[in-house]
Structure 1
């Protein structure tokens, strides 16, 4: 049974979310604020966190920043504010999904289930060692970092240096959202002098090559922000 933590200072919303999750078979622990949250996450390691942004005392974004220093657990942020900036900041700080209030509890439950399915799928992402050195397996894609070689079901795919570097960075940070600026810092580093939209062109080329090869590794667009890597069967 998956264990879900829910944090919201509105008791009605907290109760409603908790009831819907329990009806679907989840174990739920609810919190009216974030005062005990970090310590409880460290001690109990829940499977997913639903975190409100606007709360008295420590707000959700501050808590998110702290939580991301020690765990990659799925985090869904919720907010009564319709500010696009909240969503962008939340994604930058490491939340996996964002839902604006009011929302139907069934939609939230569906998103939780989707997150947990991805976690199970990503358990197939592992580092192994062979005579050719260490390689990563992501879905049906295998990456040899020593050889800078990528195979999908045994078929090698040819990438440019930039394409390969972006692919490996995203593949080793599954489900983590990154802005275009962050990807430029990781892939181009100090050699970049152009526009950030160059990332879009690079992603487009990667998607075509991966799609042609039948890879189930995908690069998802986060509109108005950037990209993240997922595995889709």
Structure 2
């Protein structure tokens, strides 16, 4: 796995400070200050995660997140000075794994990146080793690949974001069990931040669409009115 964090930030001083903090960890940083330079670099390299500012010269962070998600499931953390809930929701709907609001402390940013990477590696991997879940998924030909963040059905597969993968994994661990939005959010965000329920609904909507696309329209995730969601087999 790569140990490079891509920092896309047009404030050079801020980007350099973040890079210095990452240099004190097991990760290093690569800096890009212009939006137009991001896609070629990401396609040629495999960063562990991307810190992506929304306001950039050239191509903006929102458009970049959309385009990166067309070919990569690399964890993306959106960085924004806009604090309105709609902006946070928009970033997550685009396939981002987390958001960070300015102003922030560099220590917080490093901690948040590490938390996302734990969700996409260690935590997911240990859950995927559950033999009962593996048997259920194999029987129904819906298979999860935690290393590549891919779900497959028969010969079809699709890439998921780390949040989508984690949501699907939690539902698949106990198929037919109803999970409330609060339970799903608590598993997604261990720091217990306040997140609008619409955020979960948005992730579920995108996840449903991806699963339907690879399984001839099958609806794997059922809404339970007034309660939450469950995986149906």
TM-score range for the pair, normalised by the shorter chain length: 0.5 to 0.7
Structure 2, unmatched stretches of 5+, are: 143-172, 179-183, 190-198
Q: How many residues of Structure 1 are paired with residues of Structure 2 in the alignment?
A: 175
Query: Residue 18 in 1 paired to residue 19 in 2?
Result: yes
Does the CA contact (< 8 Å) of 2:5 and 2:51 recur in 1? Answer: yes
Q: How does 1:94-173 map to 2 (within 5 A)?
A: 94-121=95-122, 124=125, 138-140=128-130, 141-145=133-137, 147-148=139-140, 159=176
Partner of 1:201: 227
Return the offset for 1:54.
0.9
Does the CA contact (< 8 Å) of 1:7 and 1:51 recur in 2? Answer: yes
**Distance in 1 between residues matched to 2:175 and 2:60, nearest whole Å:** 46
Cα gap change, 1:199/1:4 in structure 2, threshold over 3 Å: closer, same or farther? farther
Return the offset for 1:177.
6.6
Partner of 1:8: 9
**Distance in 1 between residues matched to 2:20 and 2:119, nearest whole Å:** 23
Does the CA contact (< 8 Å) of 2:211 and 2:218 recur in 1? Answer: no
- The structure whose residues are more often helix, as a share, is 2
SS for the counterpart of 2:78 is strand
Partner of 2:33: 32
**Distance in 1 between residues matched to 2:18 and 2:33, nearest whole Å:** 13
- The structure whose residues are more often strand, as a share, is 1
Does the CA contact (< 8 Å) of 1:4 and 1:50 recur in 2? Answer: yes
**Distance in 2 between residues matched to 1:107 and 1:93, nearest whole Å:** 23
**Distance in 2 between residues matched to 1:72 and 1:190, nearest whole Å:** 23
Return the offset for 1:83.
2.3
* TM-score, length of structure 1 as denominator length: 0.62
* TM-score, length of structure 2 as denominator length: 0.62
Does the CA contact (< 8 Å) of 1:124 and 1:139 recur in 2? Answer: yes
Does the CA contact (< 8 Å) of 2:5 and 2:48 recur in 1? Answer: yes
Q: What's the CA shift string for 1:107-136, capped at 9, x where partnerless?
A: 1100111122223226738xxxxxxxxxxx
Query: What is the RMSD computed on CA atoms of the aligned residues?
Result: 3.9
**Distance in 2 between residues matched to 1:72 and 1:157, nearest whole Å:** 25
**Distance in 2 between residues matched to 1:198 and 1:62, nearest whole Å:** 33
Return the offset for 1:187.
8.2
